[in-house]
Structure 1
Amino acid sequence: MEKKLAILQIDSVLGDINANLQKISSMIDSIEDKEVRMAIFCEYGTTGYSLDLNAVAEEIPGKTTAFLEELALRKNIWISGGMIEKGDNNKPYNSSIMISPTQGLRAKYRKVHPFSFEKDQINYGDSEVIVDTELGKVAMTICYDFIFPEYIRSLALKGAQIVLNSTFWFADEISGPAGWES
């Protein structure tokens, strides 16, 4: 059996974690293809890009990861996506989580390369994360991390077969992804 990934294109409700978890749940419930073994939602998927990141920051593990663990178990599918993690010095982390359908929360990754205005708003991560899954060794990255070829190369050299890049890029029709010019 071929194994596939499902990319969940979520239009997050700004700052409403419960509404966004319901959207994610509904999208995963709608997957009918039995070959889909992992569902991935975007950076800031549980919150949208809130102007007050501390107001929506959560502990990992916590309420959101518990909800997603139950969903992964019920649907027998891996789940990965982005959330805001409570941090130090009144600055949260931009994090992604990886949840196994049989083992629950397997990993969290904190964005290593902050983009533009994030530099003043979030704490930076400082470690690579590669998770052994039934699809192979999966490296976790977030958004701007993907722009650093040596960082991605280092993940491959450490055995990553798949590199997930959870991102919340937004674009306009003229300039492409917003903020590229900064």
Structure 2
Amino acid sequence: MQINIAVVQFSISQFAPATNLRKAEAFIQQAAGQANVIIFPEDVVTGPLSRAIAYADSEQRYVRHFQELARTYQIDIVPGSIIEEEAGKFYNTTYYIEKTGEILGRYRKVNLWLSERSYLTPGHDFPVFETPYGKAALLICWDLIFPEAFRALTRQGVELVYCPSYWCFEDAGVGLKHDANAEIHLVDALSVARAFENGIIFVYANAAASATGTDQLIGHSQITVPFKGIVQRFAHSNEDMFIQSVETSLLADAERAYEIRQDLATRLLEPLC
């Protein structure tokens, strides 16, 4: 099956939901009729909250807004991620919304980034759900670093993994003295590795650099698959969108070649010592 995926490297206006939602709709309108699915970056509606919890959504108004956009433009949407409040706790949440407006999947970020841990509550599971284009799952940003998250999904038969992100150069901390592009090397290497080692299509949508923001984002939004590695990638951090066609049948070829899923189902892979 062929799937056309629109990946938006979006420049987020901090604490300006109305501005970001208007611009997101413009990208959706542009992709409609060409792409089957469109994905936005992490924190796309407000930017990172950094304890500014007044901007958190306790009424699911933002996801309902994207549900209406999916119905209007007849396109499946992964609306980046949204900080949502429930029962006094705050979660970094993303969704898969089908073109009818139905929510097919919801994921709450399990592996929180260092600065998120003081005010966000981690999720606790890695759901896989059916879409018109195969079994899919959602991860968010720092989840990329943990192979265990991907293995949990692969054991459930996942085929496509969508990953909104907000990844910055400065995340390397003191590591910047060793290489200013450390985070680019990390994201590029792991995006390819996760596709190969799990036999999946991996879709990574990072935020773009902002002329007014203080965060220095790496960009490098991309799609990776087994055998080919990177099939499309931005080698910059500017705001942009690409639409890439991907053939899901190559996943069956990957399993025939590597038998990764068979090994996960039948072999004890953990060390015995």
Sort the TM-score into its range (normalised by shorter chain). Answer: 0.7 to 0.9
Aligned to 1:49: 48
Q: Tell me if 1:177 matches 2:183.
A: yes
Q: Give 3-state SS (helix, strand or coil) of 1:114's partner.
A: coil
Unaligned 5+ runs, structure 1: none
State, as a whole percentage, how many aligned pairs show the same letter.
28
1: CA distance, partners of 2:150 / 2:32: 32
TM score, norm. by length of structure 2: 0.60
Q: CA RMSD in A?
A: 2.1
- What amino acid is the match of 1:7? V
Matched, 1:92 2:90: yes
* Equivalent residue, structure 2, for 1:21: 21
After TM superposition, give the deviation of residue 175 of structure 1 in Å: 4.7
Distance 1:49 1:176, change over 3 A: farther
What displacement does 1:32 show?
5.6
Runs of at least 5 residues in structure 2 that lack an aligned partner in the other structure: 171-178, 187-273
SS at match of 2:25: helix
Structure 1 runs of 4+ with >6 Å offset: none
Q: Distance in 2 between matches of 1:171 and 1:78?
A: 30
Rounded Cα–Cα distance in structure 1 between residues aligned with 2:25 and 2:157: 31
Distance in 2, matches of 1:106 and 1:37, equals 15
CA pair 103-49 structure 1, distance change in 2 beyond 3 A: closer
Structure possessing the higher radius of gyration over alpha carbons? 2
The separation in 1 between residues aligned to 2:131 and 2:10, in whole angstroms, is: 24
Instruction: Please say if 1:75 is aligned against 2:73.
Output: yes
CA-CA distance at 1:93 after TM superposition: 0.7
Q: Which moved more, 1:49-58 or 1:159-168?
A: 49-58
CA distance in 2, matches of 1:157, 1:126: 17
8 Å CA contact 2:32–2:74 kept in 1: the answer is no
Give the corresponding residue for 2:5: 5
Distance 1:33 1:174 in 2: 40
Q: Which has the higher contact order (CA 8 A, sep 6+)?
A: 2
Q: 1:53–1:84: 8 Å Cα contact kept in structure 2?
A: no
2:133 corresponds, among 113, 132, 135, to 135
Give the number of equivalent residue pairs. Answer: 176
